[in-house]
Structure 1
Amino acid sequence: MAESTGPILAIGAMTVANRVVFNDEPMDWKVPIGTAIAAVLFAGAERAVGRSAVYVAYLALVTVAFARVDPSVPAPAESALKWFNER
């Protein structure tokens, strides 16, 4: 398995958890499909450009954790903070 696969799969898991668990939105099946495609593409990019593909994957992970991907749904960090404070 490529080194960039972990961060890419974590991005998909965070996105699904943010929408479904934290914000009670319906499951969007485009996210797991897109995550699988991105993992394959990043594994190929790792072979082509080397370690920089891994760095981009980790940068994407940090970005998705703190930035809103969908303007109507808060970022995972915002949602988790709100969810844990309510419980």
Structure 2
Amino acid sequence: MPDILRELNNSNDVLIIAYDEAQYFRYANEDFTKILAWVYDKLPNIITIVTGSQVGVLENFLRFDDYKAPLYGRYHVKIPLTRFTPS
């Protein structure tokens, strides 16, 4: 994955990668937040969006407030959404 991301970054086009239901990455064999932090630090042409329906679980997974976590101190924006109505 890092080689592919480096190649995409080097195209000099801005690329947006969105991960939906990202809280499920907590079950991965590797700490996916390390990859997200690496992309943030090293690949300026890639913008990452993580979404999830389990808000508390997603926030616990990303650990932006944990000074020992890979994403600690990284700039991020939270966009809270309320439940959609049936209409």
Give the structure with the larger helix fraction. 1
Give the structure with the larger strand fraction. 2
Q: Bigger relative contact order, structure 1 or 2, given CA contacts below 8 A and separation 6+? A: 1
Say whether the fold is shared (TM-score over 0.5): no
What TM-score, normalized by structure 1, do the two folds share?
0.24
